[in-house]
Amino acid sequence: QKEVEQNSGPLSVPEGAIASLNCTYSDRGSQSFFWYRQYSGKSPELIMFIYSNGDKEDGRFTAQLNKASQYVSLLIRDSQPSDSATYLCAVTFMGYKLSFGAGTTVTVRA
Amino acid sequence: EAGVAQSPRYKIIEKRQSVAFWCNPISGHATLYWYQQILGQGPKLLIQFQNNGVVDDSQLPKDRFSAERLKGVDSTLKIQPAKLEDSAVYLCASKGGRFEQFFGPGTRLTVL
């Protein structure tokens, strides 16, 4: 079983719509959860992190965490063409190691 | 604040040759990571340093990969000999006192 799994995508949404990205993880002891954005040919950049169950909002981004279900998601509201990228879910593993999912590619259609 | 620096940005070699990558982390960051990112996959941790000591190298193919971080600052990652499956982007990241890892631009390696 992979440590971190993401919905495979690609995900295509019209401009202004909500993009919903999902991620599940295997280590029930994981404490920290991150969403990175990676533009084509670029390195990952952190856009959201969450530690506690519930929702965390930052601008147009909302991260949702449910530790009981071992599930974390990212919502992008009012999607813009500049949001077109691959989104990587990352989870701490064994207390310190960051394990990444394979990523979900999002395309926002103008 | 300068970011994580890596060189070279691109490298093309033939299989069985050797190659080395260099990373200069953000000043003051004690933790340094090397990741391998194969096309279509997420980054995979190869090795983690805390200052000049190795914290985790469990996924480093030690028969061909080596890494060092002398003096707890710059780091080099070496592959000798390279295989076709080593074609990937090699990312260096560093972390200071907080949780966020900052990534360098990466080195794209092509093994022919």
pLDDT tens digits for A36-79?
999 999 999 999 999 999 999 999 999 999 999 999 999 999 99
Contact indicator for B90, B10 with CB cutoff of 8 Å = no
A32-36, A69-73, A96-100, B13-17: range with lowest mean pLDDT: A96-100
pLDDT of B90-104, one tens digit each?
Answer: 999 999 877 789 999
Q: What are phi and psi of B13, to 5 degrees?
A: -135, 170
Contact indicator for A8, A106 with CB cutoff of 8 Å = no
Predicted local confidence at residue A94, as pLDDT: 72
> How far is it, in rounded angstroms, from Cα A70 to Cα B43?
21
A24-28, A38-42, B108-112: range with lowest mean pLDDT: A24-28
Interface probe with A: pick from B37, B57, B92, B107, most Cβ of A within 10 Å: B37
Q: Which of residues 50-109 of B touch A (CB under 8 A)?
A: 55-56, 91, 99-101, 103-106
Predicted local confidence at residue A8, as pLDDT: 74
Q: Is the pLDDT of residue B77 over 90?
A: yes
A97 touches chain B (CB under 8 A): yes
Q: Is the pLDDT of residue A93 over 80?
A: no
Percent helix / strand / coil, chain B, rounded to 5: 5, 50, 45
Tell me the average pLDDT across B67-91. Answer: 95
Burial of A44 (0-12, 13-18, 19+ CB in 10 A): buried
A2-6, A92-96, B54-58, B59-63: range with lowest mean pLDDT: A92-96
Predicted local confidence at residue B96, as pLDDT: 84
Predicted local confidence at residue A95, as pLDDT: 67
Q: Is the pLDDT of residue B87 over 70?
A: yes
A102 touches chain B (CB under 8 A): yes
Among the partner-chain residues A88, A96, A97, the one whose CB lies closest to the CB of B42 is: A88
